[in-house]
Amino acid sequence: MKAHDGMYIDGAWRPAAGRETIAVVNPADEQEIGAVPAGVEADVDAAVRAARAALPGWAATAPAERGERLAALRDRLVARTDEIAEVITAELGSTLGFSKRVQVGVPVAVTGSYAELAASYAFEEKVGNSTVLLEPVGVVGAITPWNYPLHQITNKVAPALAAGCTIVVKPAEDTPLTAQLFAECVAEAGIPAGVVNLVTGLGTVAGQALAEHPGVDLVSFTGSTAVGRKIGAIAGAAVKRVALELGGKSANVILPGADLPKAVAVNVADVVRNSGQSCNALTRMLVHRDQYEEAVALAAEEARAYVPGDPRDERSRLGPLVNAKQRDRVRGYIEKGVEEGARLVTGGADAPEGQPSGYYVSPTVFADVTPEMTIAQEEIFGPVVSILKYEDEDDALRIANGTDYGLAGAVWAADDATATAFARRLDAGQVDINGGRFNILAPFGGYKRSGVGRELGAHGLAEYLQTKSLQF
C-alpha cells in the first residue's frame, strides 16, 4: 500500500498540521517501507472536534443500524485480508500465516461479534419503579500498541461504535500503515463522517494530547504499565473515564498428573507466538520438582524447533521483534538472567545464525529460575520462557501470584476439576484450563497492575456505556 500523507478526520484524508513524518521500517531487513505524518496537538484537536460533532447523530442511531455498519466493516476487513496481512508482516514482522490467521482473523471475528451484540444488547432495563438506561459515554480516545495492530484497534473501535460512541484512534508509531488500511475500510463500510477518526503520531505528542483533551470522555489505552500509570493520572486529574490493558507476567502451572509433554509444548508455542510480543504470554512455566528436569529438556527441544527466518516465507515459524529498541531490550533481559544465575538452556543474547540483519532474537529457555530474579518478575516481551520449580500446590500458588501483574495464566492437571480449583486461587483475569482456547466473547483484562477494565464481549461493551436511572 501507499501510505497516506494526511489524517483521516471527519470522513476524509486531510493534510497534517505539521510537516514532520515518522518512518516505517521493516524489522526483517531494516529497510524503510513508508512514512506517515507525525500528528501534533492541532491534528488531535481537529479529530476530537469531528468526533464530538458526530456524536449526537451516531448515539441516536438505532443499535441494530449501528450493528449493520459494523457488519459492513467486518466484510471490508474480510475482503482485504491478504493485503492487511502483508502490511502487518511488513511493518511488525509477524509471520505471514500468523498475520492472516490471527492478526486479521481475530479482529474480523471481534468486529462481527459486536455487529451482533449491538442489535441484541439490552440498553434499557426495568428495576422496580425505575427504568435504567445504558447510554454511550461519549467521545473515546483510543491509544493502541504495535504488537497486534489491527486487533487492538478493533478491540476498542467495535465496542465503542456498538455503544453509540464516536472515537479518535492514535495507533502505535511502529505500525501506522495497518491503522491507515483500517481507516480505509471504515470509509468503505459507510460509517458516517466523524464517527471514527485517525491521527498518526508519537505517543509523547499526539498520544498525550489525546489523553489530555477536554473533549475526550474516556481514554482507552493498551500498552506498558509505565505509560498506563501516566494516562491514569491524566484521566484521574480530569475526572475522566479510563480503560487500561497493561502488562503481564503470566504463569503456566503444570500440576502433577498433567500431560507434561503437551503442557510444555503448548507453553513454548505460546511464548514464541508473535515473537513473544504478547501481553498475556505464559512466560513463567512452573513445574513440580519431581518433573522439573524432564520439563526443561522438553522445553529446550520445543524451542529449538522455532528457527528465526524471513516472516514472508511460509516455512518460517518465528519472525523478528518490531524494532531495534525491543531487540536490545530483550537481549538485555537475557544477559540479566545469566548474570543473576539462571541456567541458559537454549537460545541466548547473540544474534541467531543466518540472520545478519533484522531485529531477531533466538527462542530462549532459562532453567533454575528463582521467583525474585528479574526475568521472573518483569515483562520481557520477547521469546523467552523462565522455568521455575515448586514443592507443592501452595508453593506453586505463592510463586504464580508473586508478581505485580495479574493478566492471564494457565493450569494443567490430570482433570479439569483439579485445574479449576487451582485456577480459582490465581490472581489473574483470565486462566486457560488444560489448554483451553481463547474466547473472543469472554472478558479480557487483568488484576493488579495489569490494568483497569475489560475488553471483548458484553463486558467490553459495558466499558463504553454510562448509566442513567429514571424513577416513576
Residue 157 buriedness (CB in 10 A; 0-12 / 13-18 / 19+) = buried
The position carrying cell 529438556 is 297
What DSSP state is assigned to residue 2? P
What DSSP state is assigned to residue 134? E
Distance between CA atoms of 169 and 165, rounded to whole angstroms? 13
* 294 is a catalytic site residue: no
Gyration radius (Cα) of the chain, Å: 22
Cross-strand partners of 7? 14
Sheet holding 124-127, edge to edge: 124-127, 130-136, 465-471
Q: Which three cell numbers stand for residue 28?
A: 526483517
Q: Is-contact 259 293, C-beta < 8 A?
A: no
What DSSP state is assigned to residue 303? H
Q: Which three cell numbers stand for residue 205?
A: 505528542
Q: Which three cell numbers stand for residue 408?
A: 492471564
Distance between CA atoms of 225 and 450, rounded to whole angstroms? 7
Q: How many CB atoms lie within 10 A of CB 291?
A: 19
3-class secondary structure, 235: helix
Which member of 245, 302, 379, 463 is catalytic? Answer: 245
* 135 is a catalytic site residue: no
Q: Which three cell numbers stand for residue 175?
A: 505500525
- Please enumerate in sequence order all residues whose Cβ is within 8 A of that of 410, keeping only pairs 6 or more positions apart, or say none: 250, 251, 252, 253, 266, 267, 270, 282, 431, 432, 433, 435, 436
Which member of 184, 212, 279, 463 is catalytic? Answer: 279
Q: Is-contact 334 347, C-beta < 8 A?
A: yes
Q: Which three cell numbers stand for residue 99?
A: 498475520
Tell how far CA 271 is from the center of its chain. Answer: 14
Question: What percent of the residues of the chain are helix, what percent strand, and what percent coil, each to the nearest 5?
Answer: 40, 25, 35
- Please enumerate in sequence order all residues whose Cβ is within 8 A of that of 60, keeping only pairs 6 or more positions apart, or say none: 164
Amino acid type, 144: T
Distance between CA atoms of 263 and 260, rounded to whole angstroms? 5
Cite the active site residues. 245, 279
